Structure 1
C-alpha cells in the first residue's frame, strides 16, 4: 500500500451568474491567503504511478505515435477518474491544480512525453500551439530576445497573460538553477479589486484591444493582429485575458490606434494589481500543472540556468481543449488552436 498522503480536494463551488460591471462571485475568485497547498496539490500514490508507467509501456509496445495518443490508448483505471475531478476543478472550481510525483528522472524523453500526453488526454484534447503545428511544446531558454521572440524561448520574467486554450498544462523535466517560479493569480479577484476602486478603468478594459498574433497567422488571413476584450461575460460566465507583451507589440503595428491616457491608466492598474494577488509555485521535477486560461493569469519570474545542457530548465507544454465554458466570440476564435497547412513533426522531443 502507498504511504503517500494526498489531501487534495475540490474547492467550494459557489457561483452566481456574472454581469459585467458588477462584482463577480466565482469559485476561482480567491486570494492567496485563502489557499491551502495541501488541497490544490494532488500527490500521486505508488499505485497511480504504477498505472502511469504500465500505460507508457502499453503505448511503447503498440507503437502508437505521440500525436495519436488518446485516453483509450493510455488506460488509467483508478487515476483516470481523479483526472476528471481535476479537470472539473480547473474549469469549474478554483481554476488550477498541480499533480506531483511523476517520476521523470532516468526515463527517456519519449517515455516522459508519452506519460505527459497520456495523462493530459484524460483532461482535454491537445491543440496546436504554433505555426509549426506542434501539439507538444517546449519551454526552454534559447537565449532569445523577449522583444523579438515568444517569452517561453527566453529566461526573462513574463507579464501575466493567458494562452489560447481552455487549459495550459506544463510538465517540469528540469527546474531552473534559481528562479523561474510559476506564477498564478485569479483574474476574477483582479477584476473585483479594480471594480471596487476604479470602475471607470474596468469599463475601459471591456473594449476590444489589439494584440499581435505571435507570428502564427492562420492560412488565408493576413492581418498581423487580432482583437479581444480583456474583461468579458458570456452566458453568465466571466472570462479575462492577459495584458501581455503581445499587446505592447501591437502598438508598433501600422494601423493600430495608440492607447488613450485612460487606457494606459487601466493597463497600469491591471499590471500593478496582478502580482499583489499572485502565488508562486516552485516546480519540482515531475510536477504537472493545469491552469484555466479563462479565470487565471499566469507568468514566470526570470531565472538562472545550469551550465550543463542536460540540466537546463525544461518544461513540456500542452494546450488542452475541454469546451466546458462559454466565452466571448473573439476568445472562442482563439481557442481553436493555431491552424496550419500540413505538419512535419507535431510532437518534437526537444526545441531546436
Structure 2
C-alpha cells in the first residue's frame, strides 16, 4: 500500500484518565492488544503490516466505495449543521406531567406503558420527527429539560419509558430473569458498582473505566442521566459511516477484514457447554431497494471486549486468537471513532437516543464522589415504522432482544443489582438475583460475569423459546 498508516499522526482524544481495571493474562497467540487501545502499539502494527504484507486494494464486491447522507458527519463540523439537543418547552413538560398522572391513575403494570397509556398530545409529533431523525437523519439526539429531582425513582422510570414509547414503541430485553424468576428485564442501570461488590467485574459498563467505541444490541440505544460523575464520564458518539468511508478510501483491505466472519468470545455457557462462540462479520452491507425507498446502507455491530476480553475475563483458550489484521481493524475503528467523534455534553436529566446500527459510542473514564455519582438508565428500543432491515447475520441476536417480550413480564428494576447471590455452580439453573453484568454490549444466554473467591459466577437467562 502507498499509505504508510491509516491515520495521519493525530493524537487520540485527550480526556481525564482514571483507574483502569486490572486485566487478566490473554490467551497464547493473541496479538499485542488489550481492551484499552494503545496508540503506539497500533501505529507500529500499521507500519509493520503495510510494509511487509501484500494488502488488498479493493473493497469486497458489492460494498460501496463511499456512503453519503446526513449520517456521514464529523464531530468538528456536525454542531454547525445540526442542533442535536432538543429542550422541552414548559407546555411539553406539563404534557409529560399530565401523562405521568394519567398512567398512575390506570393502576397497571409498567410493562403496559405505551403511547396510549402515556399520551403526549402536545409532544408526540415532535418525538416522531426526532425518531425519523434517528433513522434517516444524523442518527442521534438529546432531550433536555426534565428535573429528575422533582420525581421519585419510579416516576422517573415511568416518564423515561413513556417518552421513549413515542420514539421506539418496542422495548428490548436486557435480561430474562429477575429475583430468581422469569422476567423480561427491559430497563438497565449503568453505574460503577465496584464499591458494592467483591466480584471482579467483567464488563466496563459497571466500572469507572473508559469504555472504548462499541455498539449495543438492538436498533436504538437510549440513556437517561439520573446523575453525572463528579469528574469525567463524557459520552462520545461517532458516525460509523464516516469511519467506513475513511477506511474504504485509505485501507480497503480492512473493509474486507471487517466484512469477514469473526469468532467472538461470548463468555457464555449452556447445559451442553456450547454457545460460547459467535461467528459473524462486524459490518453488514445492505443494497438499496429496487423501489428507491431505502438507500444503500452499511451496518456496524460489534463490541471490542468479545475479541480481547476485559478485566477478569480474557478471551478464552477454546477459540483461536484474533489475527493481526483483526487487531488492526479493532484499533482502527476505535481511533477513527475518537478522531471523528462528538461529545453530547450529557447533563443530569438528559435523555440520549442513538441509532445503534449507524452510530457507535464510547465513554470517558470518570470519578464519582459520595455526593455525586454517575447513574444512567438504559433502554433498547425499536421503532416499527422507521426501523432498518435487520441483517441476516444479526437476526438471531435481535430475536433474543425483541422476540417474545410481553407486557406482563416486563420488569423495570428500581436499583442496580449484582450477582452476589447467584449460584456458583454452572450446572445448576437457579439464581437469586438479577444479573447486573450482562454488559451493555450484548444479551447472552448465560454470561460469565466475573469471579468471587476464585469461583466463576455465571448468569443464566431464558429466551422466549425455552431454556438454554
Partner secondary structure for residue 88 of structure 1? helix
- Which of the numbers 301, 315, 328 marks the counterpart of 1:252? 315
Q: Could you tell me how far apart the structure 1 residues matched to 2:130 and 2:217 are?
A: 20
Q: Could you tell me how far apart the structure 2 residues matched to 1:145 and 1:34 are?
A: 44
Structure 2 counterpart of 1:141 = 192
Structure 2 counterpart of 1:318 = 379
Greater alpha carbon shift after TM alignment, 297-306 vs 21-30: 21-30
C-alpha displacement at 1:241, in angstroms?
1.8
- Which of the numbers 392, 414, 419 marks the counterpart of 1:329? 392
CA RMSD, Structure 1 to Structure 2 (Å):
2.7
Structure 2 counterpart of 1:242 = 302
Larger Rg: 2
1:28–1:268 distance in 2 versus 1, CA, 3 Å: same
Structure 2 counterpart of 1:126 = 171
Q: Could you tell me how far apart the structure 2 residues matched to 1:40 and 1:220 are?
A: 48
Q: Could you tell me how far apart the structure 1 residues matched to 2:329 and 2:276 are?
A: 24
Unpaired runs of at least 5, structure 2: 1-60, 178-183, 288-295, 418-468
- Which of the numbers 27, 34, 46 marks the counterpart of 2:77? 34
C-alpha displacement at 1:138, in angstroms?
0.7
Q: Does 1:94 align with 2:135?
A: no
Structure 1 counterpart of 2:230 = 177
C-alpha displacement at 1:341, in angstroms?
11
Structure 2 counterpart of 1:233 = 285
> What aligned pairs does 1:1-352 form with structure 2 within 5 A after superposition?
19-36=62-79, 39-124=83-168, 125-132=170-177, 133-143=184-194, 148-213=201-266, 215=268, 222-235=274-287, 236-249=296-309, 252-308=315-371, 311-323=372-384, 324-338=387-401, 346-352=411-417
Q: Could you tell me how far apart the structure 2 residues matched to 1:252 and 1:272 are?
A: 22
Q: Is the 8 A contact 1:168 1:318 kept in 2?
A: yes
Partner secondary structure for residue 86 of structure 1? helix
C-alpha displacement at 1:96, in angstroms?
0.5
Q: Could you tell me how far apart the structure 1 residues matched to 2:263 and 2:224 are?
A: 31
Q: Is the 8 A contact 1:42 1:98 kept in 2?
A: yes
Q: TM-score, normalised by structure 1?
A: 0.86
Q: Deviations over 1:245-284 (max 9, x none)?
A: 1222397234422222222222222222111111112221
Q: Could you tell me how far apart the structure 2 residues matched to 1:220 and 1:328 are?
A: 28
C-alpha displacement at 1:197, in angstroms?
1.1
C-alpha displacement at 1:297, in angstroms?
0.5
Q: Could you tell me how far apart the structure 2 residues matched to 1:295 and 1:210 are?
A: 22
Q: Is the 8 A contact 1:21 1:203 kept in 2?
A: no
Paired positions, count: 332
Unpaired runs of at least 5, structure 1: 1-17
Q: Is the 8 A contact 1:219 1:340 kept in 2?
A: no
